[in-house]
Structure 1
Amino acid sequence: MAPTAAEIDWRPRDQLPAEQQAMLPAYCDGGYLQPDFSDRQSPLFESGSGGNTQMPIEASGLNARYEVDTQLILEGDVRLSQGTFSAQGSRALYDQATGQMSLSGPIVSRGQGFLLTGDSAEYDANTGEMEVNTATFLIHAAEMRGQAGYLSRPSENIVNIEDGRLTTCSPDSNAWAIVAADIELDRAEGFGTATHVRLEVQDIPVFYWPYATFPIDDRRKTGFLYPSFGTSDTGSGLFISTPYYLNLAPNYDATITPQYIHGRGLFNEVEGRHLSDYGESVLQLGYINDDQAFSDEFPGEDGERWGLDFASRANFGYNWTGYADYSVVSDDEYLSDLNRSLDINEVTHLQRRGGIRYDSRHQYFEAYLSGYQTLSDTITDSQKPYSQLPEILYGADYEWGVVETLVESQYTYFHRDNTDLTGLERANGHRLRLAPELALDFRAIWGYSRPSVTMDFTQYQLEDYTVREDDTFSRSIPIYEWDNGLYFDRRDSMFGIPYNQTLEPRLYYVYSEFEDQSYIPDFDTALKDFSFDQLFSPQRFSGGDRISDNNRLTAAVTTRFNDLNTGIERARLSIGQVYYYDDREVSLNGQGADDRSDSPLAGEASFRPLDTMDIRVSGLWDPRDMKTEEGRSQLVFHSEDYRYLATLGHTYDRDDFEQMDIGAVFPVSDHISLIGRWLYDSQADRTAGSLAGIEYTDCCWSLQLVSQNYLTDDRKLENRILFQVQLKGLGGSGGSGDRISDAIYGYDEREQRRFGRTNVRY
């Protein structure tokens, strides 16, 4: 029996070139190897019938019989070509009068990226039409093989297949296949159509479509995408969805996803995308007319629920860009109950923001409007954030030798509903802030010294302000800084590897006088968390309503180890401490003031002993109490092919919480991997989240099944079962992949290496 097209070019792993073996995943036993046919195109799709039919026919064989002006008969190792068409077989008959060529098999016809075999073929040299009986074919780029009872090419862009079968599995595997009575491939439109289509798994039919369309190149095509389904016990229950993709125009499209959710009813989501000369916009909507479970949980509610998310990015040229983000939902429970595709997380505030920005080498300008929707009933009116209507920013920096001048400026109008508020919390109003800076920047190869002075000026004009008689006032505070550093380095070797070690001591001094600011409202200010980076900042507060009083010196040192062979920083260790010469008196809501003369030791370290391993540690240690105040450590490891993934983490806050997390993807064989993550809250002595599952991966398909526990907004531990089936070349269904990638670092990279993601439409 003659070999199929796939069998001709299939090679076991050990017979592939070394570079191809290196790219082949461990769960694949081999791959396709094609000769170089860079001067030819596919025998199915020619460059044009006119181009081929004007070319002479070239033919050869071991035996030939020629009848003048009638026919040519070739036998034994017959080879034919006309332009880009080429074929070989055992016998050929060419009718000179009609231009018909009959080729007896087994025949083989090859082109760049395509191989075709058959029992017999008919080729019309005048029109380029071709017909093949009992055909098999192989598309190398897609690693897709197929067979057909009958294959014809009536025109240069159309191929018809009867009794066709397609799969991306290896020649000896029938894990899955798409089988159809009739298939038409249209290169001009970039898609194929098929009738009476069924999906077979191990030669057993498991799904049927009366009609299907699918892409044969990168162009998009209107049609249904893979259905998905799953379950959880968060009130959503069992759900099934059938997305429908609309390719409306080259620059805009839409996806409609109707889905039935047990206990809730019919829920619809719509996503529209638009691409213009300036940028891209995405609109996402979700709507359910009568959510039965919601009505039962909240008597009096009508069950009509909806969500919207809009995002847009634009580039206007000449360094100008624009953006818009707007999210809104009908109720506080929408995100946890219904949201599946809206690109917004389960948060307490949904931000709406839109503006323009200019960026150049020495200047930037930004103007925007910003507001929020608060989703939690536990947040009081005084805790709700202010809207910025608008906020305008401008900054510039220039250098003249060692002289630097910088300016940062900000104008904002702050507003929120203050009907039920009193005192400072009731105030709305305008704030103008200017912070010009003058500095001398001395730099050399051995170090630097940078003294500077900044005048921080703020002007307020307030509304509904009752703390003082005057609702218009200003604040001016000069800030003096002096930042100094030295560089030392040496070369050595460790384990036979040359490296460069640096030693970088640093002294930073800052002074700013105390000024009473307790009469100023808190529009956008919060106390910053103390960390290593905070050692070199003059501000204890974010925002602009509090300016820190300072008289302190920071001493710190950093050392780095750089691999001279690769240039990779293998290790970095930093430690520092602040020494205070005055008490800190400026506070915000009772926080930020302190009379301690020194800070905890702040440190951070990172190690990369291997190119596939990262270890990061940061924390605060109090030398007085000899105790750790805060700590965060994380180890991340992955093999070069990302088959092995592991993360270890520990987070500690002395006054708040302690959590540990472990995540891993661990292969127990070439095909089976275990997936897991566990998050443990030591303070509450409980599991804060977990994920456990199994994954089976073959060279042409994979299956994931995972169980996930997670905390809801009301601190209850809920469970859901998720799955995902992935068919190479046809995409997948289910939603476990997104959940796993959220939990385990490196999982997205692993998925991209395992499969390309192309959706089939039916």
Structure 2
Amino acid sequence: MTLPHLPLAPKSYCLIVCCLVLMGVLPCQIQALPLRAPGNSWHISAEKATYDPSRNLYTAQGEVVLTGETARITADHILYNNLTKDARATGHVTLMSGKDTIHCDAMHLNLETETGTIMNGIIFVEENNFYISGDHIKKTGKNTYSADKASLTSCAGENPDWKITGRDIHVTIEGYGMVKHATLWAGNLPALYTPFMAFPVKNKRQTGLLSPNITHSDRKGIEYEQPLFLALNRSSDATFYVDYMSDRGIKLGAEYRYMQDNNNKGTLFFDYLKDDKIDDGTDATSHYAYDSTPQRTNRNRYWFRMKNDREIFPHWQARLDVDYVSDGDYLHEFKKGYTGLTATDKAFESTFGRDLDDYDDTTRKNQLNIKRAWDRYNLNMDVLWYDNVTARRQNTDDTTLQSLPSITFRGMRQKLGQSPFYFDLNSSYTSFFRQDTTNTLITGQRMDLYPRIYYPFHINGFRLTPSLGGRHTAWYTHDAADINETRNGYSHRELFDINLDLSTVFTRIFSIDNAANQKIRHQITPALAYSFIPHVDQTDIPQFDDIDLIDKENTLTWQLTQRLTSKRQINPSDSNTPAFAYRELAWLKMSQTYYLSGRDEDTQKNFSNILLDLELSPMPHVYLNSDMEWSPYGTGIFSHNSAITVKDDKQNRIRLQYRYSREDPDENEEETESIYTGVNVGLTPRLRGFLEYEKNLYEDETIETTTGIELDRDCWSMKLSYTKTSDDSAMGFLINLKGLGEFGNP
């Protein structure tokens, strides 16, 4: 209990308290007056307490508790000077400040400056769950500590699995810790020494060294990648990378990020390597070449990539994507690591929702997009530049078609006034350009206007939607070459198309478990679509892309969609939780097209291939995805992709995937066929094993194999992996000292 602030002298106050104790009104434990002004006071309670007014000194013994607004000290004995605000605590001392705790034999602390000395103490930082132990630790501020000698660990107990000992240690809570002459101990054995080490003490952004990436591979030798993180301000940061490769040299990298809000953000990366190895065409350097790319003779290698989003005006958004690489081999060699394609692609996808081209794509997309969106309309202005890396490196004619610029204006389907009709609109303007020095390929501009009118209505449970589209396309070309002559000038094309969509829905609900009120809904949606486009002479039309050549069409397409959805009643503990749980058990779609005018004039095959898409989850932890395309004329399957995944709540997972495709079996086109297996399973409660295997079945060649183990302890974890591809093999080793960071190859 806390007594009121009575206007009594200290001696009178003690006399009254003693009388109350003797009378049994108060317990033996007493509590003194507030030691500070109300609103910022300290209180002391103990089995025995005295006050010396001449020195303004409080003396408390036996289960002493000294409490303030944000801190609490317990000890066997405490001396507190109310004038200097100094407190001396001895015997089983515990200081609790926020979420951090200090245990020690003795402590001298100034409660106002929060500085002092800790004797034979242990500091426990809850945020990172680690301990700092030392015989003589100085508390140099509210959140700062220093020690001449100390040890660090995130393991509880007197004999931790690991610890780091060092000298001249400085620790800032909500910041970083610095240690000189640091030694990592595995149990009682010294395992690693470093003259300097920095480690995070909490999760706030802070300038300092990050965990290194260490690996070994056939192509690069021993590799050590060290990042340095710079917290520039609240909305931006930068990271610099030094990547030492014993066989290739030193690769330098930089990353800059900023995020003001969701509409204004950007990330850019740049790497540079003066490579010690080139491909000179001899057997001695063939190990540094790739079969799928031309010979690489350049030593100066680099990769610049960035994504940027900016709100340039209210409701106007600009997006800039840049991907410029020195040679076609670069992304083959540097797929992994801190600044590799995999990590960069993941960062871009997570932040911007836009990824990079594949590592083996030697035509890299660069784009500037400016868009404006209204409720029913949107405007996009694009400048697209496809960088042909191979043509640039080989100094050959680049015939890549560029769009400089492309403008599209679209209107969503909407009602036409008060009438029963609906309409939508697709329109575009594109200027095409090629870096072709021979002047034999087409360049020019194209405008395309494509409105459509819809009239939906219902007939006896069926939804029928006829629609009519009209299309006007105009071109102006420079040095255009058609099948008859080379000419300049203007050309145009007009055509119309008719669509008729018919669909309905059949639904039935089945009761599975009446006790749990569990039901399954089976929904069948058959649909039939007719499409007609008349034949139009297009011999004089320039050919840029699919819009320029629109074939005649007279087709009938059927589609059948089925869904199984379960609904199970649950008993929520609060009213904000839904009363029912829904789960998609199965989804199946099949479709095929019939060509009324004949699909193939030579073979008279009127039916297209049959398409099937399937998603199946018969149990909560089992998922099956499959898509297939096969011929109705007995020529077999064109493509088949299937994957089954089984996982549980403990992160055990097995995934099997099969991929197959071929273009045209009648033309004996080359097939592609591969399998992928991924396994991540707990071998023991602490040990996990993982395996990834991908093989090209058609060429009987292993694409990539990765295997390894992960050991997870209370205060540390370890990962050991081995990866082998057709071009390289690498060994990775990772130690995670929980609370301090990772060392090794992520």
Q: Identify the TM-score tier after normalising by the shorter chain.
A: 0.7 to 0.9
Q: Tell me whether 558-567 or 724-733 shows the greater mean CA deviation.
A: 724-733
Counterparts of residues 325-724 of structure 1 (less than 5 Å) = 325-338=321-334, 340=337, 341=339, 343=344, 345-346=358-359, 347-376=361-390, 384-397=399-412, 398-400=414-416, 402-420=420-438, 422=440, 426-442=441-457, 448-467=463-482, 468=485, 469=487, 471-494=489-512, 497-525=518-546, 544-565=547-568, 566-584=581-599, 595-625=604-634, 627-642=636-651, 644-654=652-662, 655=665, 656-710=671-725, 716-724=726-734
The answer to whether the Cα contact below 8 Å between 2:628 and 2:639 also exists between their aligned partners in 1 is yes
Q: Shift of residue 100 of structure 1?
A: 3.3
Q: Is 1:259 the counterpart of 2:243 in the alignment?
A: yes
The answer to whether the Cα contact below 8 Å between 2:491 and 2:541 also exists between their aligned partners in 1 is no
Q: 1:88 — aligned with what?
A: 74
Q: CA RMSD for the aligned pairs?
A: 3.1
Deviations 1:381-416, CA, capped at 9 Å, x for gaps: 899531111111111133246421111111111111
Alpha-carbon spacing, 1:694–1:97, altered in 2? closer, same or farther (3 Å): closer
In structure 1, how many angstroms separate the alpha carbons of the residues matched to 2:679 and 2:429? 48
State the one-letter code of the partner of 2:639.
Answer: E
In structure 1, how many angstroms separate the alpha carbons of the residues matched to 2:460 and 2:119? 76
Q: Tell me whether 552-561 or 265-274 shows the greater mean CA deviation.
A: 265-274
Q: Shift of residue 276 of structure 1?
A: 4.6
Q: 2:575 — aligned with what?
A: none
Q: Secondary structure at the match of 2:332?
A: helix
Q: Shift of residue 701 of structure 1?
A: 2.4
In structure 1, how many angstroms separate the alpha carbons of the residues matched to 2:273 and 2:532? 58
Q: Shift of residue 360 of structure 1?
A: 2.3
In structure 2, how many angstroms separate the alpha carbons of the residues matched to 1:445 and 1:86? 77
Q: Shift of residue 204 of structure 1?
A: 3.1
In structure 2, how many angstroms separate the alpha carbons of the residues matched to 1:300 and 1:546? 39
The answer to whether the Cα contact below 8 Å between 1:264 and 1:294 also exists between their aligned partners in 2 is no
Q: 1:287 — aligned with what?
A: 272
In structure 2, how many angstroms separate the alpha carbons of the residues matched to 1:222 and 1:501? 57
Q: Shift of residue 512 of structure 1?
A: 0.6
In structure 2, how many angstroms separate the alpha carbons of the residues matched to 1:125 and 1:454? 80
In structure 2, how many angstroms separate the alpha carbons of the residues matched to 1:349 and 1:598? 36
The answer to whether the Cα contact below 8 Å between 1:53 and 1:128 also exists between their aligned partners in 2 is no
Q: Shift of residue 671 of structure 1?
A: 1.8
The answer to whether the Cα contact below 8 Å between 2:128 and 2:202 also exists between their aligned partners in 1 is no
In structure 2, how many angstroms separate the alpha carbons of the residues matched to 1:251 and 1:445? 59
> Structure 2: which 5+ residue stretches go unaligned?
1-34, 290-294, 345-355, 569-580, 666-670
State the one-letter code of the partner of 2:227.
Answer: P
Alpha-carbon spacing, 1:52–1:167, altered in 2? closer, same or farther (3 Å): farther
State the one-letter code of the partner of 1:359.
Answer: A
The answer to whether the Cα contact below 8 Å between 1:549 and 1:584 also exists between their aligned partners in 2 is no
Which of 1 and 2 has greater Rg? Answer: 2
Q: Shift of residue 641 of structure 1?
A: 3.3
More relative contact order, 1 or 2 (CA 8 Å, 6+ apart): 1
In structure 2, how many angstroms separate the alpha carbons of the residues matched to 1:682 and 1:128? 69
In structure 2, how many angstroms separate the alpha carbons of the residues matched to 1:404 and 1:54? 68
TM-score (norm. length: structure 2) = 0.80
State the one-letter code of the partner of 2:738.
Answer: K
In structure 2, how many angstroms separate the alpha carbons of the residues matched to 1:522 and 1:674? 54
Q: Shift of residue 505 of structure 1?
A: 0.9
Q: Is 1:238 the counterpart of 2:222 in the alignment?
A: yes
Q: Tell me whether 157-166 or 629-638 shows the greater mean CA deviation.
A: 157-166
Alpha-carbon spacing, 1:436–1:367, altered in 2? closer, same or farther (3 Å): same
Q: Shift of residue 310 of structure 1?
A: 2.3
Alpha-carbon spacing, 1:445–1:249, altered in 2? closer, same or farther (3 Å): farther
The answer to whether the Cα contact below 8 Å between 1:639 and 1:645 also exists between their aligned partners in 2 is yes
In structure 2, how many angstroms separate the alpha carbons of the residues matched to 1:348 and 1:322? 26
Q: Shift of residue 435 of structure 1?
A: 0.9
The answer to whether the Cα contact below 8 Å between 1:123 and 1:131 also exists between their aligned partners in 2 is yes
State the one-letter code of the partner of 2:565.
Answer: N
Deviations 1:194-231, CA, capped at 9 Å, x for gaps: 33333333243333343444443444333322222222
Alpha-carbon spacing, 1:632–1:116, altered in 2? closer, same or farther (3 Å): same
In structure 1, how many angstroms separate the alpha carbons of the residues matched to 2:125 and 2:112? 27
State the one-letter code of the partner of 1:329.
Answer: V
Q: 1:730 — aligned with what?
A: 740
Q: Shift of residue 338 of structure 1?
A: 4.7
Counterparts of residues 207-246 of structure 1 (less than 5 Å) = 207-233=192-218, 235-246=219-230
Deviations 1:458-503, CA, capped at 9 Å, x for gaps: 1111112132446421122211111121111111134663111111
In structure 2, how many angstroms separate the alpha carbons of the residues matched to 1:60 and 1:445? 84
In structure 2, how many angstroms separate the alpha carbons of the residues matched to 1:709 and 1:372? 32
State the one-letter code of the partner of 2:185.
Answer: E
The answer to whether the Cα contact below 8 Å between 1:418 and 1:427 also exists between their aligned partners in 2 is no
Alpha-carbon spacing, 1:506–1:174, altered in 2? closer, same or farther (3 Å): same
Q: Tell me whether 626-635 or 379-388 shows the greater mean CA deviation.
A: 379-388
Q: Shift of residue 626 of structure 1?
A: 7.1
Number of aligned positions between the proteins: 652
State the one-letter code of the partner of 1:182.
Answer: D
In structure 2, how many angstroms separate the alpha carbons of the residues matched to 1:443 and 1:650? 43
> Structure 1: which 5+ residue stretches go unaligned?
1-49, 526-543, 587-592, 711-715, 738-762
Alpha-carbon spacing, 1:451–1:410, altered in 2? closer, same or farther (3 Å): same
